[in-house]
Amino acid sequence: MTVNDLKHKKLVAWIEEIKALCEPDDVVVADGSKEQYDALINECVDSGLAIRLNQEKKPGCVLFHSDPSDVARVEKRTFIASEKEEDAGPTNNWIDPVELKSTLKGLYKGCMHGRTMYVIPFSMGPLGSPISKIGVEITDSAYVVCNMMIMTRVGVKVLDLLGEDGYYVPCLHSVGKPLENGETDGGKWPCAPMEHKYISQFPETREIWSYGSGYGGNALLGKKCMALRIASVLARDEGWLAEHMLILKITNPEGKSKYVTGAFPSACGKTNLAMLIPTIPGWKVETIGDDIAWMKPGKDGRLYAINPEAGFFGVAPGTSKSSNYNALAAASKNTIFTNVALTEDKDVWWEGIGYDAPGKLIDWNGNEWIQDKNNKEQKPAAHPNSRFTAPANQCPCIAPEWEDPQGVPISAILFGGRRPSTIPLVHMARNWNHGVFLGSIVGSEVTAATLDVKAGTIRRDPFAMLPFCGYNMGDYFQHWIDMGKDDQEQKNLPKIFYVNWFRKKDGKFVWPGYGDNSRVLKWIFECCDGVAKTVDTPIGIMPTIDAIDRPEGVTEEDMKELLTVDKAGWLKEVEDIRTNHYPKFGKHLPKELAAMLDTLEEALRK
């Protein structure tokens, strides 16, 4: 498809403008067809950028190895370019939009030399749903086009919906590596050096300009840039919520179902929870989404959620038959792998796949790699943030209603992170505002999903949205408070919980996690029905010690540790929030949250 086939005048004008700026060799429109996808993948294979995997073991699958400098989101190079710095708030990087556009135009000038410019019309959310939004990404990366074809709904149907004058969010992307006449990438992943990478959001004009990276959330602009950073701004203005949340459906042995969303920071277990196989008999979990939820109030006062994505961009390491059977099944065909290791028979392997490396591997850097289990210092064969891009409809546990344009009604919202101490396995907020308080204080160990912040350190990541909120985080807290102003007691709004699967003792996880998290989901289910065994504590409502069935290997002693309020630890928490976290927001911090902190401290000191 070419630009001549397009009927949308404004879109055509934008494409011409970008073409004149970036100077590509040619322009191709993504029509969403399998033929086009296959042809693009073939090009990547022929040019040496991708390796076709063993078609018996992994039909329709390929493997890409990125540049070693381009392996995850780059938070220090991510910008919210609002007109006023205050509107970006204390947690975002800010550059004046006029200045940033001028810098970027300098970089974009001629940046697509020797490359094809692709135009990708895409829908976040089921086509035509009242909750969905349309975007158009311009990119010079075939890898990005193929990933977008899995992660979003792409092509002619979207153009039909747009018509001649429909609204779309313009998303501009370049890997930032122009080619000289006759030069090729020579099988090397193209990207720009760190200081030239810019992942820019312009919240007032609702534009995305990304430069210099070809990886994940930096480059697949429908995902974090549009469905979270720009969408969070739209959500604030239009009265809904755009969140970094999984959506699951849970059904009890009597056949009664509820829908639950959960916000955990990157690489903290959303995909795993969304697809878990319960270890308690008779219970069933199905998936609606694994990373992003858009929630809108319905006429009945309940919150209805859709998954704006159409695929999973999931963390590979740690994914095994026993930890996440469903993710493996979803990624068993028609999947793009990035930065995992390659076996001799052209299959994939990664740390935590559930079996030893079968012979000699090629690691994610392209080097020979032989497993040495005695060498604790051995570098991993797969990058810790290596990923699979798999179509959601290939997931065996995808819920039949996952594309319902109306969304699904949410009963519970979970917050959580990786906390080796202090935070118990689960507690429930007393009311909506208390739940917002819990979301606002979430802390977590940083993971490999972020390139430029040291992994392992604990940082506050409110609502798991720290890198994804498109405006002042204090105003975002206020927006959450406002969403609950008429329903504090949560007659219709979801109940809110704080969970922690990551408590450690002697360096080992105390709670087995994964499928056993269903035991906690069961208690949450019972809380929603008002039939759970609960006890009131200074931090909120908790399960009694016998309310949650103990999994194998968890002693009564462990359970006590998981479910006791660590008063000293929580007082340290309060202190940190009071001195380091909340003051950042200044007058933007809702007074309700400051009051919640006082109430918590009083209760802990009693």
- Which active-site residues does the annotation give? 268
Q: Which residue of 187, 513, 538, 569 would you call a contact of ligand GTP, by CB under 6 A?
A: 513
User: Among ligand GTP, Mn ion, ligand SPV, none, what binds residue 216 when CB lies within 5 to 8 Å by partner kind?
Assistant: ligand SPV
User: Among Mn ion, ligand GTP, ligand SPV, none, what binds residue 403 when CB lies within 5 to 8 Å by partner kind?
Assistant: none
3-state secondary structure of 601: helix
In terms of CB distance, is 137 or 243 closer to Mn ion? 243
User: Among Mn ion, ligand GTP, ligand SPV, none, what binds residue 224 when CB lies within 5 to 8 Å by partner kind?
Assistant: ligand SPV
Q: Which residue of 133, 206, 224, 296 would you call a contact of ligand SPV, by CB under 6 A?
A: 224
Distance of CA 262 to the CA centre of its chain: 11
The whole-angstrom separation of Cα 429 and Cα 442 is: 13
The whole-angstrom separation of Cα 249 and Cα 397 is: 10
Contacts to ligand SPV from residues 295-314, by CB under 6 A:
313
| Interhelix angle 432-440/591-605, nearest 10 degrees | 90
Q: Is 203 in the site for ligand SPV (CB under 6 A)?
A: no
470 is in an annotated binding site: no
Q: Is 77 in the site for ligand SPV (CB under 6 A)?
A: no
In terms of CB distance, is 291 or 461 closer to Mn ion? 291
- Cβ neighbours of residue 281 closer than 8 Å, sequence gap 6 or more: 253
52 is in an annotated binding site: no
Token look-up 């940190």 returns 576
The whole-angstrom separation of Cα 410 and Cα 402 is: 13
459 is in an annotated binding site: no
Identify the burial level of 237 via C-beta atoms within 10 angstroms of its C-beta, where 0-12 means exposed, 13-18 middle and 19 or more buried: exposed
The whole-angstrom separation of Cα 382 and Cα 350 is: 5
The whole-angstrom separation of Cα 134 and Cα 127 is: 9
Q: Which residue of 214, 216, 289, 439 would you call a contact of ligand SPV, by CB under 6 A?
A: 216
In terms of CB distance, is 89 or 222 closer to ligand SPV? 222
CB of 345 to ligand GTP, least distance (A): 25
Identify the burial level of 550 via C-beta atoms within 10 angstroms of its C-beta, where 0-12 means exposed, 13-18 middle and 19 or more buried: middle
The whole-angstrom separation of Cα 190 and Cα 64 is: 12
3-state secondary structure of 279: coil
The contact mask relative to ligand GTP for 262-301 (x = CB under 6 A, - = no) is --x-xxxxxxx-----------------xx----------
The whole-angstrom separation of Cα 64 and Cα 75 is: 23
Q: Which residue of 291, 403, 461, 516 would you call a contact of Mn ion, by CB under 5 A?
A: 291
CB 535 within 8 A of CB 564: no
Q: Which residue of 202, 501, 523, 585 would you call a contact of ligand GTP, by CB under 6 A?
A: 501
587 is in an annotated binding site: no
Q: Which residue of 58, 223, 258, 430 would you call a contact of ligand SPV, by CB under 6 A?
A: 223
Q: Is 449 in the site for ligand SPV (CB under 6 A)?
A: yes
CB of 75 to ligand GTP, least distance (A): 13
DSSP 93: B
Q: How many residues sit in the footprint of ligand SPV (CB under 6 A)?
A: 9
Q: How many residues sit in the footprint of ligand GTP (CB under 6 A)?
A: 22
Q: Which residue of 314, 424, 467, 470 would you call a contact of ligand GTP, by CB under 6 A?
A: 314
CB of 605 to ligand GTP, least distance (A): 33
Question: Where does this chain touch ligand SPV (CB under 6 A) — which range of 18-26, 100-108, 216-224, 580-588?
Answer: 216-224
Reported for 156-160, long-range contacts at CB under 8 A and 24+ positions apart, including other chains, are: 156/1, 156/31, 156/32, 157/32, 157/123, 157/127, 158/32, 158/121, 158/122, 158/123, 158/127, 158/134, 159/6, 159/7, 159/8, 159/121
In terms of CB distance, is 22 or 246 closer to ligand GTP? 246
Q: Which residue of 129, 517, 518, 534 would you call a contact of ligand GTP, by CB under 6 A?
A: 517
In terms of CB distance, is 65 or 73 closer to ligand SPV? 73
Question: DSSP secondary structure string, 144-205?
Answer: HHHHHHHHSEESHHHHHHHTTT---EEEEEE-S----TT---TTPPP---GGG-EEEEETTT
User: Among ligand SPV, Mn ion, ligand GTP, none, what binds residue 217 when CB lies within 5 to 8 Å by partner kind?
Assistant: ligand SPV
User: Among ligand SPV, Mn ion, ligand GTP, none, what binds residue 501 when CB lies within 5 to 8 Å by partner kind?
Assistant: ligand GTP
The number of beta carbons lying within 10 Å of the beta carbon of residue 350 is 26
Question: Where does this chain touch ligand GTP (CB under 6 A) — which range of 177-185, 223-231, 509-517, 568-576?
Answer: 509-517
The whole-angstrom separation of Cα 64 and Cα 242 is: 30
Question: DSSP secondary structure string, 10-45?
Answer: HHHHHHHHHHHHH--SEEEE----HHHHHHHHHHHH
586 is in an annotated binding site: no
User: Among Mn ion, ligand GTP, ligand SPV, none, what binds residue 73 when CB lies within 5 to 8 Å by partner kind?
Assistant: ligand SPV
Torsional class of 586: left (φ above 0), alpha (ψ -120 to 50), beta (otherwise):
left
**Considering Cα of 356, then 359, then 363, then 367, what sign does the dihedral take?**
positive
CB of 445 to ligand SPV, least distance (A): 14
CB 455 within 8 A of CB 478: no
User: Residues marked as binding?
Assistant: 73, 215-217, 224, 244, 266-272, 291, 385-387, 418, 514-517
Give me the residues that bind ligand GTP (CB under 6 A), please.
Answer: 264, 266-272, 290-291, 314-315, 317-318, 323, 449, 501-502, 509, 513-514, 517
Give me the residues that bind Mn ion (CB under 5 A), please.
Answer: 266, 291
